Structure 1
Amino acid sequence: MTPSSPVRETPVLSPGPDSVEEAGLPTGAVAQTLGVSPTTVRSWERRYGIGPAHREAGHHRRWSPRDIAVLETMCHLTARGVPPAEAARAALAGRDAEDRDAPASGREPAPAAEHPGAGASGGRALRVGTVRPECRGLARAAVRLDAAETVRILRESIAALGVIEAWTEVMMPALRAAGRKWAVDGEQYVEVEHLLSWHVSSVLREAAIAALPATSTRPVLLAAGPGEQHTLPLEATAAALTERAIPFRMLGGAVPPRALLDAVHRIGPGVVMIWSQDHRTADRELARQVAAATWGPRGSRTGSLVVTAGPGWVRQGPPPGTFCPRTLQAAVDLLEGAARKPGHPVPR
């Protein structure tokens, strides 16, 4: 998704004291601050002319605040999927425009058009395969630990694609790539996976509570199985339900059996979704008890449809009387259909 209007880039390194303005910063310091390798900066300078506007023969390169602003624009554009050569032309064009406008007193350079998505950065790349450009940009931002860019891509992906497609085509491939990198390289990539997961969770929760519907529809009850701590898929489900104006109650991770059963009786949900990432947290007996739970006056007692979601249920199959969708799309469709029904009569 390409924004309809350009967004001005704000330099990470704001102009400092006069001494910094005059002396500038070395390449290593600039690269570290912007989250790219010095080798990448030097390569861009050699190939595309992205470098200090003024140099002195026999001296190391020194980057002025204006030079740094150009380089940061280059970083932002490549992080959003723009090919380096095109990004360099746009960044330099912005600097040239600033030079032309200089007599008009201190106006900032004209912003370059932005594009979402990118490949990952340098040797720390996350291999996301053939994916949408937004996913490549998300992976690259996570590797750079660029929180602002990560949140921007996540929010714009949800706004442009909807929760289900954003989860399936943008968030999940990036999360899986970070998990694979962590598994292979150990602690080196824990910070990337943690930052990405935290912001995915934050943006999904933001979407889920943005407009909680107040309807007469019976709510969907969302819970992770006993001992299950992985809740991102539940949060994606909640956000997708909000998008469809379906009310929900989120109990989160590691819900004990007694607590879940109590919640079922107190809320009277139209459908209960129990998430399990691992087969050890897929409690078949609990699912059976939830499916058998009923409430209401004698002769018109009702119960909940039970959805057992997640890879933890796949090995042993869904318990009798429950449904086990394999995708977020299928799960949300099922939850919506069940929630909008008046109830599930249970003969007693």
Structure 2
Amino acid sequence: MHTQENSLLPIREVARATGVNPVTLRAWERRYGLVKPHRTPKGHRLYAPEQLQQIQQILTWLERGVAISQVAALVREQVEPAPSLERASLWQHQSDALLFSLARFDNRQLAAQYRDLMGLYPAPLVCAQLLEPVLAELEQRPASQYGNQLEKQFLHSWLHSQMAARLAMQQEQAQGPRLLLANISGTSHEPRLDLLSLLFSDAGFRLLRLEACPPASELTLLHERRPLDAMLLVGSQRLDPTTLERDLPRLAGQVSCPLFAAGPIVQLHAGDLRDAGITLLSSSPALSFEQLQQALAGDAA
């Protein structure tokens, strides 16, 4: 009995291990009867190893595009996710709905859809399967076509407002690694910075955000006054030669924490960034989030 009790994990530890935040775990339990935990005399949730396995099974179904309402029946029937299963239409439907709301500039409908999805699905899944594809589609549309630029700017503004509200609430309780997220593109707004902020804040990281980064050389001062566990430089535009050839190598040589780069700049300047001593992640925020977590976990081990 003592061994069994030692194997039970509180909800915060389960969230850290699986990437599914406590709000979503509670919603699965309350609305669909999934992953029912043990309870302490005071009502606190405790999860056994087999329940962590069930969470992983649920995530496999969700990654294949099956709606959580359908996953509940599949789990109860103990159906195993087939590797060859074709992606269901869930995320295509959500993408169509999001684009329709964008075309109508309907921020209330956008907020309602976003709120529902974030309550039922892990943030990395929503980011990878919905927000990133919609952002990419808008960026690929011809800028000269009437309305395209306005829809893209509306999406950027809406994303920023949603992330700001969520971060304000989450960061008060964050206890994880301290991470700097800095936009180094020179643009006034970088939507990938918002997506990365969503993912890392949801995972409990303590974030420092710079929407429009100062000269890279000044980031040394920030690290001296507020020691960081890592710096993540995010960008989608070409960097100027001075930043690439002088400021970034100098920054890498002066700070003790690891430096990472994410966004399209990792493809635009792969060789220069590596030469500067910066670890390249992905142009995808969801994949960059996973890669940086793995890198920090490896350093800690």
CA apart distance, 1:333: 2.8
Q: Which has the higher contact order (CA 8 A, sep 6+)?
A: 2
Name 1:177's counterpart in structure 2.
137
CA distance in 2 between counterparts of 1:215 and 1:209 reads 11
Deviations 1:277-310 (A, max 9, x none): 112358323332222124xxxxxxxx11000111
Tell me the distance in 1 between the aligned counterparts of 2:269 and 2:148. Answer: 33
CA contact (8 A) 2:215 2:247 kept: no
Greater C-alpha Rg:
1
Partner of 2:78: none
Q: Contact 2:200/2:289 (CA < 8 Å) preserved in 1?
A: yes
5 Å matches for 1:99-178? 131-178=91-138
Q: Deviations over 1:163-206 (max 9, x none)?
A: 222222212222233334452414x3333222222111211222
Give the TM-score of the pair, scaled to structure 2.
0.60
Structure with the bigger percentage of helix: 2
SS at match of 1:330: helix
SS of the residue corresponding to residue 151 of structure 1 reads helix
Corresponding position of 2:254: 293
1:266 to 215, 220, 225: 225
Match of 2:281 in 1: 325
**Superposed counterparts of 1:201-240, under 5 Å:** 201-212=160-171, 214=173, 217-225=176-184, 227-240=186-199
Using a 3 Å threshold, how does the CA distance of structure 1 residues 217 and 179 change in structure 2: closer, same or farther? closer
Contact 2:185 2:237 in 1 (8 A): no
Instruction: Provide closer, same or farther for how the CA distance between residues 132 and 256 of structure 1 changes in structure 2, counting only shifts above 3 A.
Output: same
Corresponding residue number in structure 2 for 1:47: none
* CA distance in structure 1 between the aligned counterparts of 2:137 and 2:185, rounded to whole angstroms: 27
Please state whether the residue corresponding to 1:201 is helix, strand or coil. Answer: helix
Aligned equivalents of 1:277, 1:286: Cα separation in 2: 18
8 Å Cα contact 1:270-1:338 kept in structure 2: no
State how 1:279-318 maps to structure 2 within 5 Å: 279-280=238-239, 283-284=243-244, 285-294=246-255, 303-317=256-270, 318=273
Measured against aligned partners, the alpha-carbon deviations of 1:29-55 in whole angstroms (never above 9, x if no partner) come to: xxxxxxxxxxxxxxxxxxxxxxxxxxx
- Provide the C-alpha distance between the structure 1 equivalents of 2:240 and 2:126, rounded to a whole number of angstroms: 27
* Cα RMSD (Å): 3.1
* Count of residue correspondences: 210
Q: Give the Cα–Cα distance (whole angstroms) in 2 for the partners of residues 268 and 251 of structure 1.
A: 16
Give unmatched runs, 5+ long, in structure 1: 6-128, 295-302
Kindly provide the amino acid, as one letter, of the partner of residue 119 in structure 2: A
How does the TM-score come out when normalised to structure 1? Answer: 0.53
**In 2 relative to 1, CA 258–280 (structure 1 residues): closer, same or farther, beyond 3 Å?**
closer
